[in-house]
Amino acid sequence: METKMVDILLHIGETTTHKDREALRNRLLAQQGVMAADYHDDKPHLMVIEYNPDVIDSVKFVDVAKQAGVHASLVGL
Protein backbone atom coordinates (compact mmCIF):
# COMPACT_ATOMS: atom_id res chain seq x y z
CA MET A 1 0.00 0.00 0.00
CA GLU A 2 1.42 3.37 -1.04
CA THR A 3 1.50 6.28 1.36
CA LYS A 4 -0.08 9.38 -0.16
CA MET A 5 2.07 12.47 0.36
CA VAL A 6 1.31 16.06 -0.57
CA ASP A 7 2.99 19.40 0.09
CA ILE A 8 1.42 22.59 1.29
CA LEU A 9 2.90 26.00 1.99
CA LEU A 10 2.20 27.62 5.34
CA HIS A 11 2.48 31.41 5.25
CA ILE A 12 3.41 32.87 8.65
CA GLY A 13 1.97 36.33 9.23
CA GLU A 14 4.35 37.60 11.89
CA THR A 15 8.04 38.23 11.84
CA THR A 16 9.53 35.31 13.75
CA THR A 17 12.95 34.39 15.02
CA HIS A 18 14.84 31.26 14.05
CA LYS A 19 13.97 29.86 17.49
CA ASP A 20 10.25 30.57 16.91
CA ARG A 21 10.35 28.81 13.53
CA GLU A 22 12.15 25.80 15.03
CA ALA A 23 9.51 25.56 17.77
CA LEU A 24 6.69 25.71 15.21
CA ARG A 25 8.45 23.17 13.00
CA ASN A 26 8.77 20.80 15.96
CA ARG A 27 5.07 21.20 16.79
CA LEU A 28 4.15 20.39 13.20
CA LEU A 29 6.46 17.37 13.06
CA ALA A 30 4.79 16.03 16.22
CA GLN A 31 1.47 15.75 14.35
CA GLN A 32 0.59 12.29 13.12
CA GLY A 33 0.76 12.20 9.32
CA VAL A 34 3.37 14.96 8.98
CA MET A 35 6.52 13.67 7.35
CA ALA A 36 8.48 16.90 6.94
CA ALA A 37 8.29 20.60 7.74
CA ASP A 38 11.02 22.81 6.34
CA TYR A 39 11.83 26.49 6.05
CA HIS A 40 14.74 28.71 5.08
CA ASP A 41 15.85 31.61 7.24
CA ASP A 42 16.06 33.84 4.15
CA LYS A 43 12.28 33.36 3.67
CA PRO A 44 11.05 33.46 7.28
CA HIS A 45 7.36 33.75 6.43
CA LEU A 46 7.19 30.44 4.53
CA MET A 47 7.22 26.82 5.68
CA VAL A 48 6.65 23.79 3.43
CA ILE A 49 4.88 20.86 5.07
CA GLU A 50 4.82 17.37 3.58
CA TYR A 51 1.97 15.26 4.95
CA ASN A 52 -0.44 12.43 4.33
CA PRO A 53 -3.93 13.91 3.74
CA ASP A 54 -5.50 10.55 4.62
CA VAL A 55 -4.14 10.97 8.16
CA ILE A 56 -4.32 14.73 8.85
CA ASP A 57 -6.30 17.63 7.39
CA SER A 58 -4.21 20.62 6.34
CA VAL A 59 -6.38 23.05 8.34
CA LYS A 60 -4.82 21.47 11.44
CA PHE A 61 -1.56 23.25 10.55
CA VAL A 62 -3.22 26.64 10.99
CA ASP A 63 -4.50 25.47 14.39
CA VAL A 64 -1.01 24.33 15.41
CA ALA A 65 0.41 27.71 14.40
CA LYS A 66 -2.33 29.49 16.36
CA GLN A 67 -1.51 27.41 19.44
CA ALA A 68 2.10 28.55 19.02
CA GLY A 69 0.93 32.19 18.98
CA VAL A 70 1.43 32.66 15.25
CA HIS A 71 -1.06 33.75 12.61
CA ALA A 72 -0.78 31.57 9.52
CA SER A 73 -2.61 30.70 6.32
CA LEU A 74 -2.33 27.87 3.81
CA VAL A 75 -1.14 28.23 0.22
CA GLY A 76 -1.60 25.18 -2.02
CA LEU A 77 1.31 23.98 -4.15
Q: What is the mean pLDDT of residues 14-38?
A: 96
Considering the domain boundaries, does residue 42 fall inside one?
yes
- What CATH number should be reported for the domain holding residue 41? 3.30.70.100
Model pTM score? 0.91
Considering the domain boundaries, does residue 56 fall inside one?
yes
Determine the structural domain holding residue 24 and report its residue range. 6-76
Considering the domain boundaries, does residue 52 fall inside one?
yes
Q: What is the mean pLDDT of residues 30-56?
A: 95
Integer Cα distance of 77 and 70 in angstroms:
21
Domain count, the chain: 1
Considering the domain boundaries, does residue 1 fall inside one?
no
Range with top average pLDDT, 1-5, 20-24, 41-45: 20-24
What stretches of 1-77 adopt beta strand conformation (E)? 6-12, 34-38, 46-51, 72-76
Considering the domain boundaries, does residue 33 fall inside one?
yes
